[in-house]
Structure 1
Amino acid sequence: MEKRHRSMQRRTVLQGLASVSAGVSAGVSASMSALAVSPAARAADHTAEPPPETARPADVTTTPPRQWGPSAPPAYAPDPDVIVIDRTFRDLLFSAATLHRVWDKGTWLEGPAWSAEGRYLLLSDTVTSRQYRYLWETGEVTVFRPESYHSNGNTFDYQGRQISCEHFLRRVIRWEHDGSVRVMADRYEGHALNSPNDVVAHPDGSVWFTDPGYGDGFTEGHADEPGGDANPDGRIRWRIGEELIGEIGGLKRQQDHTFRIDPSGRIECVLTQERLPNPNGLCFSPDHSRLYVISTGKQAGGYGHDGDQAVHVFDVQKDNTLSNARLLTNMHFEGVQMGPDGMKADIFGNLWCGVSGPLGLCGVFVFNPEGQLIGRIRLPHGVSNLTFGGPKRNWLFMCAGESLYRLQVNTQGAGPA
């Protein structure tokens, strides 16, 4: 028995030597071929059986693994990570364009918005509470506002004024042309807002925004006072940071709403929590006859219902009410429930939606106006939000985690010019 055991050990060692030598050179491998173990012997020798392989997610989006950043070699064109599902998507692409990571020094980038007057892209870092700008002429990214009160969504209205959603102060503000700040919304029916998230401007001068509770925590804002839905046992020191500004935003989480700020300043609820729980990203169709709103998953301290992680569409009536609610897409893809976040429409009515999910699936999904998925953009991180920018509005800018990406396309954004 002992002799047989020594023989098995010798056979295993020789097999290992044969494997190593095969990786060194073909010639050496040939000279050692006599030491190879037959399939029958391998089956009989349990020590030679490889361990069972466990399931694991894909670790690359392309093969070979793609490199990113300024020093990365040029990508192939057409870009292998820009995937055509329906031929109509090909018409929206510039075939020679490739994806580029233009900056990776953020923490959690959000709210990209293009300034036509300034020729720069504005973006928020919700965690570090800063705003940055990407300068079109140089490609440089600089600090725009060193303290943004954990801003998230941004937009520019049809007069070129910057509008921002501030998590820490739980309000929507507008920067006037003279540099002053106007608070557009911080309360509704006597209650403080939660954490305004995404915002869009309408040609009639109104501003529409969502107010979920994703900023009701100290990572991207501040938690509720003790007893509030986002601080039920009072352990979170919710007033930390107040000494920096002498004030703090709302004190307790309320229900989630989607709001419209009338040009007169009146705040109207256009979608209650019951009609659309956990509203997040939103945008208009090019003719402003439709409003698209994303319902995302329940967050920490979430009040009431859980969202369905889908994109919903409503008809905008002449009195600014929303009707004919329907599902545009449930965001199911290859058996996975993807997580939509922010979105923008192009001039043809297609919807470009940032999504999170498994590596290899996350990035950007593009739907036609009927809700059919026509194309994808794969990135190594989920996309929180995106926008069209550049002088011709034909560059797609995507915020993904700590990085900003861009892609030249053959369409234009439908937002303010």
Structure 2
Amino acid sequence: MSFFQANDPVFRTYVLGNAPVKQIATGFDWVEGPVWFGDAGCLLFSDIPNNRIHRWSPGAGMSVYREPSNFANGNTRDRQGRLVTCEHGTRGVTRTELDGSITVIADSFRGKRLNSPNDVVVKSDGSIWFSDPHYGIMTDYEGHRGEQELPCCVYRVDPDGRIEAMVTELQCPNGLAFSPDETRLYVADTGRMFHSDPQHICVFHVGSNGKLSGGEVFHAIDPGCADGIRIDTDGNLWSSAGDGVHCIAPDGHLVGKILVPEHVSNLCFGGRAKHQLFITATTSVYAISLNRRGMQHP
């Protein structure tokens, strides 16, 4: 079978004809938040409804990294290599220190509880940016049903702990990614739960003062919608979709697709040369080697 669909001839140089999409783990309920730890040679990812973070290592296979996980969703690493996690259960963002202790980065804004932090990225200046849609408090499936106290925003937490709402105009911001030069911030808007809001990826321009401008629609995924998104070293955006992973050029046009047999939620680059794409998709995790390298720090 073919694993690829080339919408632009250049996509054939991004993929390898003899590199299959491999299912490396399965049996979950809704997997999310993949993050690669190169120094430990492992992938961490969340199974949100089952309240666990799992670890997968080549050769060693699967193990449980954290249980309970506070219904963890998105994960990333900061510039010191520490795990940063969005938690539906605590309605906060935490950092796992190198000694294993856990620090709360943010769980409120102006005296009100956050909703259910979803995705998180760390900028080169050490600031932590996370999205805060309401999905984790709308039902008891991915957390605890609760009252929404704040609008759904994207927040920035500075190294000194100051928190600021940076994106306030989207319905439900979800996946986040910076361009390689950090002059663009891409935000997936997946719309409010139980509503038929427009779903698309928006792009914001990051000024020298750190402020955002713009916010125009960059691309609309079809079929499905953008959830998790990642960037390669040439600035191409790789997005989850209903039929797999879509590769989108910096000018917004669809370059091609990696076809996956389940609905994709998120993805990350990793492996020996950051040339492998790890894909979380409904009940399973998949991996494929590419002729691309992903932006990932450290």
Partner Cα distance (1:380, 1:124) in 2: 20
CA deviation after TM superposition for structure 1 residue 139, in Å:
5.1
What whole-Å deviation, never above 9, does each CA across 1:372-409 have from its counterpart, x for those lacking one? 10100111111000000112110000000110001000
Instruction: Quote the Cα distance in structure 1 between the aligned partners of 2:296 and 2:197.
Output: 26
Aligned pair 1:365/2:246, yes or no?
Answer: yes
The one of 31, 37, 51 equivalent to 1:115 is 37
Partner residue of 1:271 out of 163, 167, 176: 167
Partner Cα separation in structure 1 for residue 263 and residue 283 of structure 2: 10
- The reply to whether residue 198 of structure 1 matches residue 88 of structure 2 is no
| Structure-1 separation of matches of 2:113 and 2:7 | 44
Deviation track 1:54-75 (CA, whole Å, cap 9, x = no partner) reads xxxxxxxx5xxxxxxxxxxxxx
Equivalent residue pairs, number? 297
Q: Indicate the residue corresponding to 1:238 in structure 2.
A: none
Comparing both chains, which one has the higher relative contact order based on Cα–Cα distances under 8 Å and sequence gaps of 6 or more? Answer: 2
Q: Is the 8 A contact 2:89 2:144 kept in 1?
A: yes
The match for 1:183 among 86, 104, 117 is 104
1:320 aligns to 2:200 (yes or no): no
* Unmatched segments (≥5 aa) in structure 1: 1-61, 63-79, 229-251, 357-361
Distance 2:174 2:160 in 1: 25
1:31-180 correspondence runs (5 A): 80-136=2-58, 138=59, 140-180=61-101
Deviant stretches of 4+, over 6 Å:
none
Distance in 1 (alpha carbons) for counterparts of 2:47 and 2:179: 27
Asked if structure 1 preserves the Cα contact closer than 8 Å seen for 2:112 and 2:149, the reply is no
Residue of 274, 278, 285 corresponding to 1:393? 274
Is the CA contact 1:117–1:160 (under 8 Å) kept in the aligned structure 2?
A: no
Letter of the aligned partner of 2:175 in structure 1? Answer: G
CA-to-aligned-CA distance 1:111-143 (integer Å, 9 cap, x gap): 00011221111100000000001113x150111
**Cα drift, residue 254 of structure 1:** 2.1
C-alpha separation between the residues in 1 aligned to 2:155 and 2:76? 15
TM-score (norm 1): 0.69
Q: State the partner residue of 1:289.
A: 183
Aligned to 1:210: 131
TM-score norm. by structure 2 comes to 0.96
Q: Which runs of 5+ in 2 are unaligned?
A: none
Task: Give the structure 2 partner of residue 34 of structure 1.
Answer: none
Of 270, 277, 292 in structure 2, the residue corresponding to residue 411 of structure 1 is 292
How many Å apart are 1:318 and its aligned residue? 1.8
Partner residue in 2 for 1:17: none
Identity of aligned residues (%): 40
Please say if residues 124 and 132 of structure 1, whose CA atoms lie closer than 8 Å, have aligned partners that are also in contact: yes
SS in 1 for 2:295: coil
Partner residue, 1:240: none
Alignment partner, residue 69 of structure 1: none
**Which secondary structure does the structure 1 equivalent of 2:64 belong to?**
strand
Deviation at 1:82, TM superposition (A): 1.3
The structure number with the bigger radius of gyration is 1
The two structures, once aligned, show a CA RMSD in angstroms of 1.3
Higher helix content, 1 or 2: 1
